[in-house]
Amino acid sequence: MDKVKVVVADDHSIVRLGIREVVQRDPRFAVVGVAASPSELVQLCREQAPDIVITDYNMPGDDVYGDGLKLIGYLLRQFPQTRVLIYTMLSNNLILSSLYDLGVSGVVLKSGDIDEIRVAVDTLQHGRIYRGAHMQAANSVLASGDDIQGRIASLSAKEFEVLRHFVSGLSVGDIAQQLNRSVKTVSAQKIAAMRKLEVDSDQALLTFCVKANLFQ
């Protein structure tokens, strides 16, 4: 019986080695490649056609494929037969739950036990979705209405920029620092964007952005 082919991607070598060791303890799995960047990951997917990809959520510094939702969305579209498992430090349940809406097959937190990866890949190998104990059920809803593109088009460039950073997992304070704006200004721009998109909570805003492929 052929082994399940796995590709591992993380920008930290010690993490890559750790994941590889854990996965290959199970003789059913074979790590056929490791990547240190999104570009390397995409190339391995093209060359190896892996059954499972285990990838970090944040791998900055790649201008071609980016990271976060942009990279994950690309993987899911271009390699639909490959199941994607996210291994991340991210702990924002709004974003984690939305990753499932996007189509990932599982999420494992780096803050937990690395051996959880073995449980996750076993779950994926059996064709199921892996949801760790850290995950809470979340509604998969897209803001209703008949003019979604019109709402998106009404966003200003600065509001769009704030949303892009919000979807990547940054807080209002982090976004303010990143964009060199005041927290008050960023907060006002986020609220204005929510009003234009007709959403009334962070969960609804995040889900709208993901389901509408706003940053793909």
Does the pLDDT at position 141 exceed 70? no
- DSSP letter at 75 equals H
Q: What is the pTM of this model?
A: 0.67
DSSP helix/strand/coil, 158: helix
- DSSP letter at 146 equals S
Tens digits of residue pLDDT in 160-182: 889 988 888 889 999 998 888 89
Pairing of strands 106-109, 130-131: parallel
Torsion of the alpha carbons at 18, 22, 27 and 33, rounded to the nearest 10: -30
- Residue 68 burial (CB < 10 Å; 0-12/13-18/19+)? buried
Q: Give me the percent of the chain exceeding a pLDDT of 70.
A: 90
Long-range contacts of 106-112 (CB under 8 A, 24+ apart): 106/130, 106/131, 106/132, 107/131, 107/132, 107/135, 108/132, 109/134, 110/15
* Tokens, residue 197: 């998109």
* Tokens, residue 115: 């051996």
CA–CA separation, 57 vs 9, rounded Å? 10
Torsion of the alpha carbons at 108, 113, 117 and 122, rounded to the nearest 10: -110
Residue range 148-211, CATH number: 1.10.10.10
CA–CA separation, 58 vs 9, rounded Å? 10
Task: For the chain, give every residue range classified as CATH 3.40.50.2300.
Answer: 4-131
Tens digits of residue pLDDT in 33-72: 999 999 999 999 999 999 999 999 888 778 788 888 788 9
Does the pLDDT at position 94 exceed 70? no
For 68, 158, 162, 165, 180, the CA distances from 177, given in Å and listed in that order, are: 19, 14, 11, 11, 5
CA–CA separation, 94 vs 209, rounded Å? 12
CA–CA separation, 92 vs 6, rounded Å? 26
Residue 134: band (very low, low, confident or very high) from pLDDT cuts 50, 70, 90: low
User: Are 167 and 59 in contact, with CB atoms under 8 Å apart?
Assistant: no
Tens digits of residue pLDDT in 2-19: 899 999 999 999 999 999
User: Are 23 and 31 in contact, with CB atoms under 8 Å apart?
Assistant: yes
The CATH fold assigned to 4-131 is Rossmann fold (3.40.50)
pLDDT of residue 154: 84
- Nearest CA-CA partner of 99 in 154, 138, 143, 60: 138
Task: For the chain, give every residue range classified as CATH 1.10.10.10.
Answer: 148-211
